[in-house]
Amino acid sequence: MGGLPPHLLTSLHHYINPGLLYCFSLAAPGAPGTPTATVVNSNTVSLSWTEILCLAKNGLVYGYDIKYWHINKFINVRTIFNTTTNLITGLKSFTDYTFTVAGVNSVGIGSYSSPSDLIRTDEDSEYYFIHYSIDFSDQLFTYLKHCIIAPRGHPGIPNATVTMSTSITLIWTEIAVPERNGVITSYKIQYGEKGNRDRLINTQSSATTHLITGLKPFTQYTFTVAGVNSVNTGPYSGASDIIQTTADGKFVIVKLLYKCFQVVILIICWYLFVLSYFLSQKAFKKCFWSCFVNIGYI
């Protein structure tokens, strides 16, 4: 029963209710009830739990220790006074948390409760003041208003894959949760030819992939992406690697005909050059040699 000699416990049983005797044993307390977390705003959660049973207190519980986690990473420990509610502040916006509580007595920290259900704080807020005066009182009142702000983080650098001569599939990683400042409702893609980004697409979707169509065949492009929440657009990511669309069918046919034409001209030039050699006509040699140079084969 927690540290008192057996003969003393036997004597105390004659004078003290056995239930009360457990309350004064010298051992760390048992676990409180599983805490209930309620979101207050973007960085505050209200926590409440049931008291430790008397037989499990093992003495006077004078405080509670609270642990909380973000993405399975231990964040903080806080000891508070003997109350079964607490307001947890300084949390990250739009972030998942879970909480657990333990009682504290003169021996130390007791067993921790089961963790609370996972809870997510609200979208981030910035605060600004609106000042105005009321005519009948000439007093200045300050009112506090919440205003959700744009994402402060950017998506990962997009990866572009050619799908056709006029289309490219773009894939990127999400913005880190604490940097979203709310729900990402869509993404904006800036892109252009040869390093320019003079074109803009709103994906109208929270998906992290998008098919971009209407591109030029056999043309180089770069892309960059930004997240959009209910207020505005966040910063853009770094630019993707330069990617070139493939040639379409018409381009291939024209290029093939041009190559055939070059081959025919080459054969004719070589024939005339050989002929001029055997005829020992130096003027012809010089002329046909210039022909090779001009078409780019020499």
Which of 45-49, 142-146, 214-218 is predicted least confidently?
142-146
Most confident of 7-21, 114-128, 158-172, 266-280: 158-172
User: Are residues 83 and 129 both part of a single domain?
Assistant: no
The residue ranking higher by pLDDT, 89 or 155, is 155
Residue 16 clears pLDDT 60, i.e. is over it: no
Residue 136 lies in a domain: yes
State pTM to two decimals.
0.48
Q: Are 276 and 288 in contact (CB under 8 A)?
A: yes
Hey, what are 44's tokens?
Answer: 């505050």
Residue 1 lies in a domain: no
Which of 30-39, 63-72, 225-234 is predicted least confidently?
63-72
- The pLDDT of residue 254 is 67
Last residue of a domain, one of 99, 120, 141: 120
Which residue, among 36, 27, 20, 29, has the nearest Cα to 84 in the 3D structure?
Answer: 36
Phi, psi of 196 (to 5 degrees): -75, 145
User: Are residues 44 and 70 both part of a single domain?
Assistant: yes
User: What's the structural domain count of the chain?
Assistant: 3
Query: How many Cβ atoms sit within 10 Å of the Cβ of residue 123?
Result: 19
The residue ranking higher by pLDDT, 257 or 169, is 169
Residue 76 clears pLDDT 60, i.e. is over it: yes
Rounded Cα gap, residues 245 and 164, in angstroms: 7
Residue 195 lies in a domain: yes
- The pLDDT of residue 221 is 94
Residue 79: CB partners within 8 Å, gap ≥ 6?
63, 64, 65, 66, 104
**pLDDT tens profile 173-223:** 999 877 887 789 999 999 999 778 889 999 999 999 999 999 999 899 999
With b meaning 16 or more CB within 10 Å and e meaning fewer, what string describes 253-263? eeeeeeeeeee
User: Are residues 21 and 66 both part of a single domain?
Assistant: yes
Rounded Cα gap, residues 45 and 245, in angstroms: 51
Q: At 15, which CATH number?
A: 2.60.40.10
Q: Are 245 and 166 in contact (CB under 8 A)?
A: yes
Residue 51 lies in a domain: yes
**pLDDT band for position 295 (cuts 50, 70, 90):** low
User: Are residues 139 and 195 both part of a single domain?
Assistant: yes
User: Are residues 180 and 237 both part of a single domain?
Assistant: yes
Q: Are 65 and 78 in contact (CB under 8 A)?
A: yes
Residue 261 lies in a domain: yes
Q: Is 260 left (phi over 0), alpha (psi -120 to 50) or beta?
A: alpha
**pLDDT tens profile 247-269:** 876 656 666 777 788 888 888 88
Residue 32 lies in a domain: yes
Which of 11-20, 24-33, 35-44, 163-172 is predicted least confidently?
11-20
**pLDDT band for position 101 (cuts 50, 70, 90):** very high
Percent of the chain with pLDDT over 70: 71
User: Are residues 130 and 201 both part of a single domain?
Assistant: yes
Residue 66 lies in a domain: yes
The mean pLDDT value for 78-100 works out to 85
Rounded Cα gap, residues 245 and 173, in angstroms: 23
Q: What is the mean pLDDT of the chain?
A: 77
- The pLDDT of residue 259 is 78
- The pLDDT of residue 189 is 96
Last residue of a domain, one of 120, 151, 168: 120
Rounded Cα gap, residues 273 and 266, in angstroms: 10
User: Are residues 157 and 216 both part of a single domain?
Assistant: yes
Domain of residue 31, residue span: 6-120
User: Are residues 110 and 138 both part of a single domain?
Assistant: no
User: Are residues 114 and 145 both part of a single domain?
Assistant: no
User: Are residues 128 and 230 both part of a single domain?
Assistant: yes
Residue 260 lies in a domain: yes
Which residue, among 98, 74, 96, 67, has the nearest Cα to 176 in the 3D structure?
Answer: 96
Residue 83 clears pLDDT 80, i.e. is over it: yes
Last residue of a domain, one of 213, 232, 247: 247
Which of 104-113, 235-244, 266-275 is predicted least confidently?
266-275
Hey, what are 133's tokens?
Answer: 């005066």
User: Are residues 116 and 232 both part of a single domain?
Assistant: no
Which residue, among 92, 40, 238, 236, has the nearest Cα to 151 in the 3D structure?
Answer: 236
- The pLDDT of residue 194 is 77
User: Are residues 28 and 143 both part of a single domain?
Assistant: no
- The pLDDT of residue 108 is 87
